[in-house]
Amino acid sequence: MTRPTSEDMAKPHAIRGYSGWALRLAGPLAALCLITAWAPALRAQGAFALHDGDRVVFYGDSITDQRLYTTFAETYVVTRFPTMKVSFVHSGWGGDRVTGGGGGPIDLRLKRDVFAFKPTVVTVMLGMNDASYQPFKQPIFDTYAEGYRHLVGSLKSNLPGVRLTLIVPSPFDDVTRTPTFEGGYNRVLIRYGEFVRSLAEKEGATVADLNTPVVAALKKANELDHSLAPHLIPDRVHPGPGGQLLMAEALLKAWNATPLVSAVEIDASAGKATRQDNTRLDDLKTGETITWTQTDAALPMPINLKDPVIALAARSSDVEQALNQQTLRVTGLTASNYRLRIDGNDVAELREAQLRDGVNLAELDTPMMRQATTVHHLTLRHNDIHFDRWRSYQVPMEGANYASLPRVLEALDSLEADVLAEREREARPVAHRFELVRTGK
């Protein structure tokens, strides 16, 4: 990504996280036809908040600075809507309040770390530090309310037409540990969140509640596994990947995210596909072994269910149901057990009843999930490069007169652009060969 103050920010390769894809199946012309055919189906699922050409800046304190809920959300967009062109900048700074912090006062932070990128969408999550980790006090809250109003006013006046998502602060964990004072600190954050809701309504902004659903999941996780549940928010403030996944879900729901990756239904007795949502089936053959070629229009969201804390987060929430449905349903089968193979490799042993009810492939180790995981790693990589450029060179050396500094920054911009180009290639869904092989009578 080039520097936001450059004219190059207007160029697609510089400002956009990825571009359109072409199927590697029947040549460029066939791919273009399929993309055109699938696009209305994606739009029909609901008005997702982000649009083609959007530039998103995530703004906040250290919880945003962790670059976890934000990168989960970014990867969801890249994998779910591979024809959209959207770029993402992560501008969280540890310790920030509505008045600013270690990166400078609020007006400097906004000018350098938000306005410079000319975003069309800005998310804001502040409050954890603002409430000062103590019982509610009106003067402290008044500073927050006044500062938040100034922040929103500045965003709207400097970025005409910007679409804002104001985020109810994520929770302080008073669930898996004893509150530090009567009522607990999270109750204070909830009061701050009520202000965020009212301000969002007044200003015509979207509101995303990253507190209520995470607390609900914490309570359920604590019931399911009392020893593991505290790892969702290890220090009570900064969620680990499991807790941040729950936060990403809440943000994506506020953006009207679709759960659909693809949906396939096959009637084996009739030898035909009865449902092909956001995908295409070719060369279907039924019999003792059922085979077909499947080309989805999206990839699943990579959720690492092998990580016990992330798995607990998934069990304690509806994240898979809400965001990650890549379903396969097969009826009319003649045997009791089958082996699912994709591209010649074993994926799962499945009972006839499971296939009849439907299997969510997004919960299995498939080639599609591995491809999506690669995409997520590249999301992390480009954000790490941006972070290092911003925090190790741009900001600390702003007043220095080093002749080589512009070249260093330009080289890092080029490196990030290379990573984004690689991610664009990796995010293109491809055709896969499916087999259902009988393993029992």
Q: Report pLDDT digits (tens) over 139-172.
A: 999 999 999 999 999 999 999 999 999 999 999 9
The number of CA neighbours under 13 Å toward the Cβ of 238 is: 12
pLDDT band at 14 (very low <50, low <70, confident <90, very high): very low
What's residue 46's pLDDT? 56
- Is it the case that residue 42 has pLDDT exceeding 80? no
- Is it the case that residue 368 has pLDDT exceeding 80? yes
* Domain-embedded: residue 191: yes
* Domain-embedded: residue 374: no
* Domain-embedded: residue 381: no
* Residue 248 and residue 100 in one domain: yes
Among 11, 60, 26, residue whose Cα is nearest residue 168: 60
Q: For residue 91, what are the β-bridge partners?
A: 59
- Is it the case that residue 28 has pLDDT exceeding 60? no
- Please enumerate in sequence order all residues whose Cβ is within 8 A of that of 395, keeping only pairs 6 or more positions apart, or say none: 103, 112
323 is in which domain, residue-wise? 260-366+429-438
* Residue 162 and residue 293 in one domain: no
Q: Is the pTM of this model over 0.75?
A: yes
Q: What is the pLDDT of residues 278-299, one digit of tens each?
A: 999 999 999 999 999 999 999 9
Pairing of strands 55-60, 87-92: parallel
The stretch 177-182 carries a mean pLDDT of 96
pLDDT band at 38 (very low <50, low <70, confident <90, very high): very low
93/29 Cα distance (integer angstroms):
46
* Residue 139 and residue 77 in one domain: yes
What's residue 440's pLDDT? 73
Q: In total, how many domains does the chain have?
A: 2
* Residue 315 and residue 240 in one domain: no
Q: Which of 258, 276, 296 is the last residue of a domain?
A: 258
* Domain-embedded: residue 74: yes
* Residue 204 and residue 349 in one domain: no
- For the CA atoms of 394, 399, 402, 407, the dihedral, rounded to the nearest 10 degrees, stands at 30
* Domain-embedded: residue 408: no
Q: Which of 225, 258, 291 is the last residue of a domain?
A: 258
* Residue 32 and residue 175 in one domain: yes
CATH number at residue 55: 3.40.50.1110
* Residue 276 and residue 341 in one domain: yes
* Domain-embedded: residue 33: yes
C-alpha distances (whole Å) from 211 to each of 164, 173, 192, 235 are 18, 10, 11, 16
* Domain-embedded: residue 90: yes
What's residue 102's pLDDT? 96
What's residue 427's pLDDT? 97
Among 203, 196, 182, residue whose Cα is nearest residue 136: 182
Among 31, 55, 52, 32, residue whose Cα is nearest residue 43: 52
For residue 437, the SS3 value is: strand
> First CA to last CA across the chain, in angstroms?
57
* Residue 147 and residue 266 in one domain: no
* Domain-embedded: residue 409: no
* Residue 33 and residue 55 in one domain: yes
- Count the helix, strand and coil residues of the chain and give each as a percent rounded to the nearest 5: 45, 20, 35
What's residue 441's pLDDT? 66
Q: Which of 235, 258, 281 is the last residue of a domain?
A: 258
Vertex 341, ends 426 and 303: CA angle to 5°?
45
- What size, in residues, is the chain? 441
Name the least confident of 38-42, 124-128, 225-229.
Answer: 38-42
* Residue 320 and residue 235 in one domain: no
What's residue 6's pLDDT? 31
* Residue 210 and residue 241 in one domain: yes
Percent of the chain exceeding pLDDT 90 equals 88
Among 58, 84, 62, residue whose Cα is nearest residue 71: 58
Name the least confident of 5-14, 64-73, 300-309.
Answer: 5-14
* Residue 98 and residue 226 in one domain: yes
Judging by beta carbons within 10 Å of its beta carbon (0-12, 13-18, 19+), is residue 396 exposed, middle or buried? exposed
**In the predicted model, what is the mean pLDDT of the chain?**
91
